[in-house]
Amino acid sequence: MGELRLMKGNEAIAEAAIRAGCDGYFGYPITPQSEVMEYLMAEKPHERTGMVVLQAESEVASINMLYGGAGTGKKVMTSSSSPGISLMQEGISYMAGAELPAVVVNVVRGGPGLGTIQPSQADYFQAVKGGGHGDYKMIVYAPASVQEMSDHVKLAFDKAFQYRTPVMILSDGAIGQMMEKVELFDPIPRRTDEEVIAACPWASTGRPKTRNHNIITSLDLDPAGQEKVNLKLQEKYRMMEQNEVMYEEIMTSDAEYLFVAFGLSARICQKATDIARAKGIKVGLFRPITLFPFPTVQIAATGSRVKGILVVEMNAGQMIEDVRLSLGCKVKIEHFGRFGGIIPSPDEVAKALEQKIIGG
């Protein structure tokens, strides 16, 4: 068993980064995720593992520092919250285009605009449907616990390098701020420069006489060349859809109704499931863990066995579009959401199931 600690979600992200052998963290303070960089600075990772931690002048600079570091094959990460992540979209698009591995954590707060500092899930579309310009996707993990905040960091780095892609962890202000028990994974040593060069022959690390120069760019002025780049990216996304889907089902085997929810909403739905079951309503919970790739086939299989589905999100109805695309008109699908930083209560959710699905 790994080391057990009581930690905030944001702290778990930071500790996991150090343990995952991250080479560089570049960030800018924003509520509700500032503890990530605070924890990192306090831990002196430059002494612990040699990891670089730098407070940048903006989120725009942070994401471009990631581009620079990733382009040299190093394991790099940033974290921010919604307004800051909006500023990073340009850089994420460039990284997707240049096929660079990096981990971006969004501890979501309510919007639009400056919005609120309270938790929200309103950045689902931005995370899952591209966010920046151009046809690209990234793997998006939705942790529902402090434990997953830690686990997903390690996983995100593995997948970022496996597919040479930016990977996002889409959390929220509640999971970032709440404290839970975490079993930490054993530290992975940072790679030496020689190991980075050997593992990333594509990276711009300094051209030895034995190879041509490496160029990291997302630019190809020849449309035929740029189409090839796009086809290659799409092929990669199909591979992700085949191999990287993660989800969890709770009490779905006998379910007549279904909650579909991710992250914090799934935690609330778990409690709402207990409340509804105590009343004799057979409801289960389907929790997508990867939001891209979306568990389309799996939701279709489970969802087509029930009488109705309530998609619960802390937004005005975003993931529900993907649930509807998965199931078509085969089953009644409704949405329940609170937004602007309001967290729905389990009672509220259980009541919504009765009103919108069972009674409706």
Tell me the β-bridge partners of 332.
308
**332 exposed, middle or buried (CB, 10 Å; 0-12, 13-18, 19+)?**
middle
Nearer to another protein, 213 or 279 (CB): 213
187-206: which residues touch another protein (CB under 8 A)? 193, 204-206
Q: Which amino acid is at 48?
A: R
**Residue window 135-174: x/- pattern of binding to another protein, with contact defined by CB under 8 A:** ----------------------------------------
Nearer to another protein, 194 or 254 (CB): 194
Tokens of 228: 């090839």
Among 31, 41, 61, 241, binds another protein (CB under 8 A): 61
Stretch of residues binding another protein (CB under 8 A), selected from 88-96, 146-154, 282-290, 310-318: 88-96
Among 26, 124, 141, 257, binds another protein (CB under 8 A): 26
- Beta-strand relationship, 3-8 and 179-184: antiparallel
Minimum CB distance to another protein, residue 191 (Å): 11
DSSP 227-288: HHHHHHHHHHHHHHHHH---EEEES-TT-SEEEE--HHHHHHHHHHHHHHHHTT--EEEEEE
Residue 74 binding another protein, by CB under 8 A: yes
What is the H or E stretch that residue 198 is in? Answer: helix 193-199
Residue 60 binding another protein, by CB under 8 A: yes
205-234: which residues touch another protein (CB under 8 A)? 205-209, 213-219
* Distance (Å, whole) CA 186 – CA 303: 38
* CB-based contact 125:94 (threshold 8 Å): no
Residue 23 binding another protein, by CB under 8 A: yes
| Residues contacting another protein: total by CB under 8 A | 39
Closest C-alpha to 101, from 90, 92, 111, 109: 92
Among 10, 17, 18, 24, binds another protein (CB under 8 A): 24
DSSP conformational letter for 155: H
Contacts of 265 (CB under 8 A, 6+ apart): 121, 312, 313, 314, 344
Among 33, 34, 49, 72, binds another protein (CB under 8 A): 72
Among 16, 18, 66, 331, binds another protein (CB under 8 A): 66
Stretch of residues binding another protein (CB under 8 A), selected from 1-9, 20-28, 224-232, 325-333: 20-28
Minimum CB distance to another protein, residue 221 (Å): 8
Q: How long a stretch of residues is the chain?
A: 360
Minimum CB distance to another protein, residue 49 (Å): 13
Minimum CB distance to another protein, residue 200 (Å): 12
Closest C-alpha to 342, from 119, 172, 173, 178: 119
* Distance (Å, whole) CA 339 – CA 27: 27
Stretch of residues binding another protein (CB under 8 A), selected from 65-73, 179-187, 251-259, 281-289: 65-73
Nearer to another protein, 34 or 62 (CB): 62
The residues that touch another protein, with contacts defined as CB under 8 A, are 23-24, 26, 52, 54, 56-58, 60-62, 64-69, 71-72, 74, 76, 90-91, 94, 98, 193, 204-209, 213-219
